[in-house]
Amino acid sequence: MRVRRPFERASDSGLVPEAVDGIWFRDDFVTKLDSAFGITAGGVNTATTDGGVNHPTCVNQQVTAVGDAARILTENASNAMQMSPSGEFYVEACVAVAVLSDGVNNIVVRAGFGDNAGAADFTDGVYFEYDLATHGHGRWMLCAANNAVRTKTDTGIAAITGFQVLRASLTADSTSLTGRISGVPCAAAVTTNIPVARSSGPEFMSVKQLGAGLLFTSWDWWEFRKLFSATRYAVS
């Protein structure tokens, strides 16, 4: 569901400039594969599920065989942007890792801005990652990737089977990436390998890494906002 279009006017009664301070997209998955960009990717067995009273509609990403990858959105020419120093930015998603990795059945979850249509890690992006096998623990990592060189810091906050809100925020000068998980600040910021001159786009993915059982994540909503460094004016 599109809540607001970029440069949307409150009135179309004349060619009157409207002050615009940024762009904002949010998708609540009111219908199956509904997307503010209109390009939600199906991946493997993607379906709308009932997430309960507080999360009535979700996208359920199911991965069964090792190497299966399901995603909501994939970076492309329609949604890509650069993290250039031109105003603050954040990307946020509400996700539940329904079955946590245990060393027998492992899932990798990435949420934020990225650029990979397959199962591999992002080449460019700013995002959260849950990957027990790689990191040796079940906590979320806050990550930045620039031309396949990555910085990942431990948030100090574990993934849980219930819903968590992941927010990655970038300062206006694009020098510091910070995170919050369900309102709790992450342990450390990322200050290196932020892709200021390379493109990435919204991407939320689940990858089956190990095991024979069905694993899945449920995504309730996602959004991002880019604030401009200076007010712009739109005429329509």
Identify the sign of the CA torsion 163, 158, 134, 110. Answer: positive
Q: Which helix (H) or strand (E) holds 128?
A: strand 125-130
Among 15-24, 114-123, 127-136, 191-200, the range with the most confident prediction by mean pLDDT is: 127-136
Distance CA 71, CA 129 (A): 14
Residue with tokens 């009664």: 13
The pLDDT > 70 percentage for the chain reads 73
Instruction: Tell me the residue type at 210.
Output: L
22-36, 47-61, 100-114, 120-134, range with the lowest pLDDT:
47-61
How far is it, in rounded angstroms, from Cα 224 to Cα 113? 9
Cα–Cα distance measured from residue 134 to residue 235, given in angstroms and rounded to the nearest whole number: 49
Q: Tally the C-alpha atoms within 13 A of residue 182's C-alpha that lie toward its C-beta.
A: 11
**Domain range summary for the chain, segments of one domain joined by +:** 20-229
- What is d(CA 235, CA 7) in angstroms, rounded to the nearest whole number? 9
Domain boundaries 20-229, corresponding CATH code: 2.60.120.200
Q: Give the three-class secondary structure for 133.
A: helix
Dist CA 213 CA 48 (whole Å): 20
Tens-place pLDDT, residues 144-164: 999 999 999 999 999 999 999
pLDDT, position 40: 41
Tokens 């069964």 belong to residue: 64
Q: How many residues does the chain have?
A: 236
CB 113 within 8 A of CB 75: yes
Cα 141 to Cα 151: distance, rounded to the nearest angstrom: 10
